Chain A
Amino acid sequence: GAGVSQSPRYKVAKRGQDVALRCDPISGHVSLFWYQQALGQGPEFLTYFQNEAQLDKSGLPSDRFFAERPEGSVSTLKIQRTQQEDSAVYLCASSSAGGRRDTQYFGPGTRLTVL
């Protein structure tokens, strides 16, 4: 079946603009994660959803970052008033149940460049 998809694949924003990144998880997957990957680094956790509930947002770097998953399926990560330090690849992952042994399936990522 189809894997995790993300759109857009590339986004260029001027500093101060708002952006919205979309994630379509694997159908039926309960858990959804967002990660941020800076150049030359491994992915870093941003936030976690179980169905529509955002159970952990401890990794969001500032209150300019906001994520939602209103119907427990598609998720959107929004960044307000983008800054240059927001430039990174944003990865979405989903898993069937969210247990710590569950495999997380990753999307291709959205590469955000803030000028």
Chain B
Amino acid sequence: AQRVTQPEKLLSVFKGAPVELKCNYSYSGSPELFWYVQYSRQRLQLLLRHISRESIKGFTADLNKGETSFHLKKPFAQEEDSAMYYCALSGFFSGSARQLTFGSGTQLTVLP
């Protein structure tokens, strides 16, 4: 079975400080991992995926298969980064479904 764990429900940092949102996963195969973000009163949207190895809005995430982690990092947090962040996994399931398994989310607040 696949599982995604985000140990922190709430995280507060000051503007300009580094931020790291933790994500650990459990999956026996080779997972595809994503970070989704939901800003206040907006819909859930993709922030980044591990396969792209890109930086979006200053955020990066590295897949560590040894530690089964996919932590999201940003060196200098901005107030507009305040949002709910979800880590998600897409495994290789039998059949055709490619559904996402989500963590419970971390609410990030960046203080002025």
| Residues on A facing B (Cβ under 8 Å) | 3-4, 31, 33, 35, 40-45, 48, 50, 55-56, 58-59, 91, 95, 98-109
Between-chain CB contacts (< 8 Å), 11 pairs: A31-B98, A40-B104, A42-B86, A42-B102, A42-B103, A43-B100, A48-B97, A95-B98, A100-B32, A100-B98, A101-B49
Q: Which residues 77-112 of B have a CB within 8 angstroms of A?
A: 86, 88, 90-93, 95-105
Residues of B within 8 A of A105 (CB): 45
B11 close to A (CB within 8 Å): no
| Residues on B facing A (Cβ under 8 Å) | 4, 9, 32, 43-46, 49, 51, 86, 88, 90-93, 95-105
In the complex, A44→B99 CA distance in Å?
A: 9
Residue in contact with A56 in the complex, picked from B32, B51, B96, B100, CB distance below 8 Å: B96
Residue in contact with A45 in the complex, picked from B45, B95, B101, B103, CB distance below 8 Å: B101
Shortest distance between the CB of A10 and any CB in chain B (Å): 14
Residue in contact with B96 in the complex, picked from A41, A50, A106, CB distance below 8 Å: A50
Looking at chain A's contact residues, the main secondary structure is loop
Shortest distance between the CB of B1 and any CB in chain A (Å): 12
B96 near A55 with CB under 8 A, answer yes
In the complex, A4→B99 CA distance in Å?
A: 17
Shortest distance between the CB of B11 and any CB in chain A (Å): 15
Shortest distance between the CB of A82 and any CB in chain B (Å): 24
A56 near B95 with CB under 8 A, answer yes
Nearest residue in A to B89 (C-beta to C-beta)? A100
Residue in contact with A42 in the complex, picked from B51, B93, B95, B105, CB distance below 8 Å: B105
Shortest distance between the CB of A19 and any CB in chain B (Å): 21
B43 near A56 with CB under 8 A, answer no
Interface centre among A4, A45, A59, A101 (most CB of B within 10 A): A101
Residues of B within 8 A of A44 (CB): 102
In the complex, A55→B32 CA distance in Å?
A: 21
Given A41-B104, A42-B86, A42-B104: A102 touches B44 (CB 8 Å cut-off)? no
